[in-house]
C-alpha cells in the first residue's frame, strides 16, 4: 500500500491547525446549537448531542485514519488529480473535470461518534445520492466515466458537528475500473 506524504501531509497539517483553533476548554463544544435543533444533510445526533473530540490528539488520529482509508483500495495505476479535506459542519460543493480517462472519486469521513453523510453527484441531468458512513476502514469510491465536468456536493451538517471529510480524485486506467463504470448515471439505464 502506498502512502503519499508531501502535499497531503502539508494539507492535513494546515487543516489540523485550523480545526484546533475552534476547540473549547474542558472538552465541551463552543457554539453548539440549542437542544432539539437538527442538522441538515448528515445523520447522527444533533449538534447539542454530538460527541466532540477531546483535543488535538483525537483529531490527528482521525486524520491519520481517514488518510489510511483513502489509501486502502486505491489502484496502483491511479494518477492523483486533486484531494482535500473539509469539516462536515461546513459542507462542500465542488466541480471536477473527468476529461480523457475514467476517474474515481474517493470519499471518507471520520467523527468521534456514529455519523454518516450524503454525497450527491450530478452531471447534466444525471443525478445520484450516496450515503457515506464515517469511520469505515476503506473510503467509498465512485466511478466517474470520462466526459464533461460533474459536481459533487456534501451538505453542511451545521455548527457544533465534529467530523472531517477527506476526498481524492484520481484518473484511472480503463482496465482498472471494476463494477459499474458510472456511479453518476448508474448502470441500470
Name the β-bridge partners of 96.
Answer: 150
Which element (helix H / strand E) includes 68? helix 56-71
Cα–Cα distances (Å) from 151 to 127, 157, 184, in that order, read: 10, 19, 10
What percentage of residues in the chain have a pLDDT greater than 90?
Answer: 59
Q: Provide the whole-model pTM.
A: 0.73
- As a CATH number, domain 6-23+43-176 is 2.60.120.340
pLDDT higher than threshold 80 for residue 11: no
The region of weakest confidence among 46-50, 98-102, 108-112, 185-189 is 46-50
pLDDT range class, residue 18, cuts 50, 70, 90:
very low
Beta-carbon contacts of residue 182 (< 8 Å; ≥ 6 apart): 143, 144, 145
Amino acid at each position: 500500500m502506498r502512502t503519499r506524504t508531501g502535499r497531503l501531509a502539508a494539507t492535513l497539517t494546515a487543516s489540523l491547525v485550523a480545526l484546533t483553533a475552534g476547540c473549547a476548554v474542558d472538552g465541551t463544544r463552543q457554539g453548539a446549537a440549542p437542544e432539539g435543533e437538527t442538522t441538515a444533510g448528515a445523520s447522527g445526533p444533533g449538534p447539542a448531542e454530538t460527541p466532540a473530540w477531546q483535543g488535538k490528539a483525537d483529531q490527528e488520529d482521525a486524520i491519520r485514519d481517514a488518510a489510511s482509508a483513502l489509501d486502502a483500495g486505491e489502484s496502483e495505476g491511479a494518477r492523483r488529480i486533486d484531494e482535500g479535506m473539509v469539516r462536515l459542519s461546513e459542507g462542500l460543493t465542488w466541480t471536477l473535470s473527468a476529461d480523457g480517462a475514467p476517474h474515481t472519486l474517493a470519499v471518507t469521513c471520520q467523527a468521534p461518534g456514529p455519523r454518516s453523510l450524503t454525497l450527491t453527484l450530478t452531471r447534466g441531468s444525471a443525478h445520484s445520492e450516496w450515503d457515506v458512513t464515517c469511520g469505515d476502514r476503506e473510503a467509498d469510491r465512485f466511478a466517474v466515466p470520462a466526459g464533461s465536468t460533474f459536481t459533487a456536493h456534501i451538505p453542511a451538517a451545521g455548527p457544533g458537528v465534529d467530523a472531517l471529510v477527506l476526498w481524492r480524485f484520481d484518473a484511472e486506467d480503463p482496465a482498472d475500473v471494476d463494477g459499474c463504470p458510472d456511479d453518476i448515471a448508474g448502470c441500470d439505464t
